Structure 1
Amino acid sequence: MSASTLSLLLERAEAERDAAAQALHAASAQADAARHQHGELAGYRQEYQQRWTQQFASGTTMSIVGCYQNFGQRLDQAVDTQGHVARHADQRQDRARDALRQAELRVAALRQLIKRREAEAQRANERREQRAADEFAARAHLRRMAHA
């Protein structure tokens, strides 16, 4: 592979890495929001249960108890649903983190390959220069011998 091809591959890998970093950032924000909302709903459910426990202690009608139970069930469902949403958001965040890690590894591998190729090219250039210097010295020596 030529140096320009490797540079192009590196640019593409860096762009993919940057996109993966943005995806991780978005997934983290979504996961944080989902966990926060789950916590808010769970807290509200606890407060709701405490308020109604106090209300029941002072006496209430059966129709109000029915309303409490109905709303409590819907609130439980909402908390459970939000818990699932939060877990899925965490899983998406984990996958995004893994994708970023893989993209960073590709960038590092390409940089290492480019560095290795540059070092090889430098060594080859140094060998060519040394051969040219040796040939020049040998010819100069032969000329001096011929003139002597």
Structure 2
Amino acid sequence: MAKTSPLNTLADLAQNDTDTAARELGRLQGQRTQAEQQLAALTQYRQEYRARMQALMQNGMPSARCHDFSQFLDSLDAAIRQQTEALAKAESQLLAGRANWQKQKQRLNSFDTLIARAESREQQIAARREQRATDEYAARLSRQQVGSGHNQ
């Protein structure tokens, strides 16, 4: 299908939609990765801070300082919960983005299949047309040879 058809136009639009969905999927994957890294960093920091607190408590620490450590650990726990929710949201958005990309890709594949079928039909029609022309030419030659054989 060398000429531009409505099917080609739809396929081009589907390709654009698929490309857009792929870019969005990449962006969502980046957000999810970032959320996961932030959660890991917070969790590691909390573990290190708690270990430091325990070491200081073993050596004896004033209760006011212990209270400060405890409050900071509580705020780290709240940040970890919040980051866990952010990660869950990022994963949910990633799944939705992946589903959208798959839907767009399937739509594009459908148009590609329809275009391939149309091209195949056009090729079959052209081949039949060429075969008819060849058959007619051969029949004409045969008639001419038969006609010229009678004249001799």
1:91 aligns with 2:117: no
Deviation at 1:8, TM superposition (A): 0.4
Partners of 1:3 and 1:121 in 2: CA distance? 14
Summarize deviations over 1:31-79 as a string: whole Å, max 9, x none. 1110000000000000010000011111122222221221111110101
Partners of 1:60 and 1:144 in 2: CA distance? 119
Report the TM-score when normalising by structure 1: 0.86
> Is the partner of 1:59 in helix, strand or coil?
coil
1:40 aligns with 2:32: no
Gaps of 5+ in 1: none
Moved more, 131-140 or 102-111: 131-140
Match runs of 1:6-45 below 5 Å: 6-45=7-46
Deviation at 1:91, TM superposition (A): 1.8
Partners of 2:61 and 2:143 in 1: CA distance? 119
Asked if the contact 1:6–1:114 (Cα under 8 Å) also holds between the matched residues in 2, the reply is: yes
Match runs of 1:118-133 below 5 Å: 118-133=119-134
Partners of 2:4 and 2:145 in 1: CA distance? 43
Match runs of 1:32-111 below 5 Å: 32-111=33-112
Partners of 1:140 and 1:59 in 2: CA distance? 115
Report how many residues are paired: 147
Report the TM-score when normalising by structure 2: 0.84
> Is the partner of 2:61 in helix, strand or coil?
coil
Deviation at 1:93, TM superposition (A): 1.5
Q: CA RMSD in A?
A: 2.1
